[in-house]
Amino acid sequence: MVGAASSIVLWLAGSLSAQPPPAPPTTSPSIPVAKAVETPAISYSAVHLDGRFIAMTFDDGPSEKLTPELLDLLAQHHIRATFFVIGRNVVEHPEILLRAVREGHEIGNHSWSHPAFGKMRDESVRAELQKTDDAIRTAIGVRPVLMRPPYGSITARQKKWINSEFGYRIILWDVDPLDWKRPGPAVVTRRIVRETRPGSIILSHDIHPGTITAMPATFDQLQAKGFKFVTVSELIAMGKPMPPKGPDTEGWTPVSSPGVAPRAPQQVPAGSPAPGLANP
Ligand code: NI
């Protein structure tokens, strides 16, 4: 504080005496936009890009019965997806994860036991992530580079230290069909197809039978609209820089970050829980 104040005083003094002013204090609270754009985003709910590329994501598996069925459907449609897996499910079915990777899909960390990180101590969050990171590496031979917090529950501070310690990008979503409430396959398909935009990251779950049933029509209709499916890491790699829309918000709801296109608010049916209290 003293240093910053001294710098400001020096700068003012320089201006008043008509001397060339020294450089403004580097601790200035207003961050130039150009500088912020150069900083890689660590959190994404969608990606700003050219082209009709999207990323389909499936959470909470692997499921012994449903995930292999989904992998069959993805192969038939020549679609690659991203799976955010639960560590304790990974150790039950590492062979399903290995199959997914061999078929071109990406694996991300979705914690060990699906708690809400937002109100947890750092040590507990760290243990959830590390155990799952280890389980994934044991199953497929490489560490994940993506993490999705259960329920989208994560603070801005947690995003920073998790990115710093684990190297993960934190992946949220901009399309949520609320498939965990089991509204029926036709509704899941309709919501996804209606809300998907270029650069969308679509949330769904490979632990609900109706979600798997919804996928053939969902894939057909999205492909008919010209969308091409890539993994989340591939989608991010295609991203174009954008000026930040504001400081990263602390809290539970999915938020846009530098590098992320702003989105219209999700249409949540009346009586639904608030965003973030859902069950992703
Ligand atoms: Ni989940």
Domain boundaries, the chain: 41-237
Indicate the pTM of the whole model.
0.76
Which CATH number does 41-237 carry? 3.20.20.370
For the chain, percent helix, then strand, then coil, each to nearest 5? 40, 10, 45
Whole-number Å distance, alpha carbon 85 to ligand 1 midpoint, is 8
* Mean pLDDT confidence for 120-138: 98
Q: How far apart, in whole angstroms, are the C-alpha atoms of residue 124 and residue 174?
A: 28
Please provide the average confidence, as pLDDT, over all residues in the chain: 82
Whole-number Å distance, alpha carbon 122 to ligand 1 midpoint, is 19
Distant-in-sequence, close-in-space partners of 216: CB < 8 Å, separation ≥ 6 = 73, 77
Residue 32 has pLDDT above 80, yes or no: no
* Mean pLDDT confidence for 118-144: 98
Q: Which sign, positive or negative, has the C-alpha torsion 173, 176, 179, 180?
A: positive
Residue 235 has pLDDT above 60, yes or no: yes
**Residue 96 burial by Cβ neighbours in a 10 Å radius (0-12, 13-18, 19+):** buried
Residue 57 has pLDDT above 70, yes or no: yes
pLDDT, residue 256, reads 39
Q: How do residues 164-216 score in pLDDT, each as one tens digit?
A: 999 999 999 999 999 999 999 999 999 999 999 999 999 999 999 999 999 99
CB 44 within 8 A of CB 254: no
Whether 48 sits among the annotated catalytic residues: the reply is no
Whole-number Å distance, alpha carbon 117 to ligand 1 midpoint, is 12
pLDDT, residue 245, reads 54
Residue 85 has pLDDT above 70, yes or no: yes
Whole-number Å distance, alpha carbon 100 to ligand 1 midpoint, is 18
Closest CA to 214 of 193, 235, 242, 239: 193
pLDDT, residue 244, reads 56
Whole-number Å distance, alpha carbon 58 to ligand 1 midpoint, is 9
CB 144 within 8 A of CB 270: no
Torsion (CA) 227, 229, 232, 233 in degrees, nearest 10: -110
pLDDT, residue 14, reads 33
Q: Between residues 134 and 250, which one has the greater pLDDT?
A: 134
CB 194 within 8 A of CB 218: no
Say if strands 228-229 and 82-85 run parallel, antiparallel, or are unpaired: unpaired
Whole-number Å distance, alpha carbon 208 to ligand 1 midpoint, is 12
Q: How far apart, in whole angstroms, are the C-alpha atoms of residue 145 and residue 170?
A: 9
Closest CA to 77 of 194, 193, 185, 218: 218
Whole-number Å distance, alpha carbon 252 to ligand 1 midpoint, is 14
pLDDT, residue 241, reads 74
Which of the residues 105, 205, 206, 248 is marked catalytic? Answer: 205
pLDDT, residue 31, reads 44
Q: Between residues 127 and 13, which one has the greater pLDDT?
A: 127
Whether 248 sits among the annotated catalytic residues: the reply is no
pLDDT, residue 230, reads 98
pLDDT, residue 226, reads 98
